[in-house]
Amino acid sequence: MTDLRDLAVPTRPDPDLVGMLTELFDDYRSARVAPTEVVDLDGDLWRRLDGLGLTRLTGSEAAGGSGGGWLEAAALLGIAAGAAAPVPLAEHDVLGGWLLEAAGLANDGGLRTVCRPDPSGVALNVTWARDASSIVALWEDRDDWRVVDVPVDRVGIEERRNLAGEPSDTVEFDLGDLEAGVVVAHEIGEQFHLRGALARCAQVVGAMERIVEVTVDHARERTQFGRPIGRFQAVQNLVADVAAETALARAATDTAVARAAASDWRDPGMLFAVAVAKSCAGHSASVVVRNAHQVLGAIGTTLEHELHTLTKPILARRSEYGSLHEWDETLTALAASAGHDRLWSLVTTGRAAPRRPH
């Protein structure tokens, strides 16, 4: 009989790493004081993560990183998001650290965030900009993509916050600084958006999985009419849909992560895979957020309750690195151009196979 591994290879991150991260962030969550309206960087946690080699998880070992891949990075992003940990893991490591390495720029380990300024040098919604020591900018300069690492004292920062209450600032660069950036390969410029979108999916799904736990626990503990509300079929239905949508978002995200890890982002189906993840996670978010709040009742709408530390970031992140609408448009264009005969090939491989000669 055929060996199972010739047929299908399940992809999962190293279980020891997942176990360690789960414990670390479970502890973090239980020790945390009540949630607040504004969410600031947790410097203590950041230093702890740094000590464990987790802030540069995906950096090459030569550049002082831990040599992890996308499977590990996605696990870390998800588990941290499940604890609503206010640390810039995506910005500093997966995106900023990667860009610096790709451009051959030095990384002193100082806290980084990352953005793509517009032609006038302005970038909106730059998460954690005010906390960074310098900002990695990816800039499209006519036909070239440039990467530059700009110390914060050389940029203008207007402090703003996103829906989740996290720093999400407007940053204004000096055009001269951007023009002095290192030219990088086109694929770097194109991949940035995909990597950012997939990192957001990993975070969204991690937060959703925590919501499943919170919702199930509440449905089992909260008693009305003399029994746990989870005994009511109407409540069971709400929770079942939270779990089901979360599972779909997880499958779509993990598929894209697995392809990225296996091909180091070279798989020509990456655009489709990321778009599928972003679309599934984004639409699932509507159901998950809505139903979870319904199950939790009034207590779930309060500042002191954990729920909003998960639902608000989910909604903030699903609109970053492209709105849901934009990703659905991308998918629509891919699907329409694949057409009747090649739509299935697009679904299974992310690429529309060459048209069959007639």
HSE, side-chain direction, 13 A CA sphere, residue 309: 23
Select 6 or 304, whichever has its Cβ closest to other proteins. Answer: 6
The pair of structure tokens assigned to 80 is 């941290």
Nearest of 191, 117, 127, 192 to residue 159 by alpha carbon: 127
Closest CB 212 distance from other proteins, rounded Å: 5
Select 58 or 253, whichever has its Cβ closest to other proteins. Answer: 253
Closest CB 97 distance from other proteins, rounded Å: 25
Select 133 or 349, whichever has its Cβ closest to other proteins. Answer: 349
Closest CB 176 distance from other proteins, rounded Å: 40
Closest CB 40 distance from other proteins, rounded Å: 26
Nearest of 137, 138, 153, 145 to residue 184 by alpha carbon: 145
Asked if 129 and 171 touch (Cβ cutoff 8 Å), the reply is: yes
Select 68 or 117, whichever has its Cβ closest to other proteins. Answer: 68
Closest CB 283 distance from other proteins, rounded Å: 6
Q: Are strands 134-141 and 112-115 parallel, antiparallel or unpaired?
A: parallel
The helix/strand/coil state of 180 is: coil
> Which one-letter DSSP state was computed for residue 165?
S
Closest CB 280 distance from other proteins, rounded Å: 4
- Number of Cβ within 10 Å of residue 224's Cβ equals 11
Separation CA 94–CA 303 (nearest Å): 31
Select 120 or 233, whichever has its Cβ closest to other proteins. Answer: 233
Length of the chain as a residue count: 358
Asked if 94 and 195 touch (Cβ cutoff 8 Å), the reply is: yes
Select 8 or 33, whichever has its Cβ closest to other proteins. Answer: 8
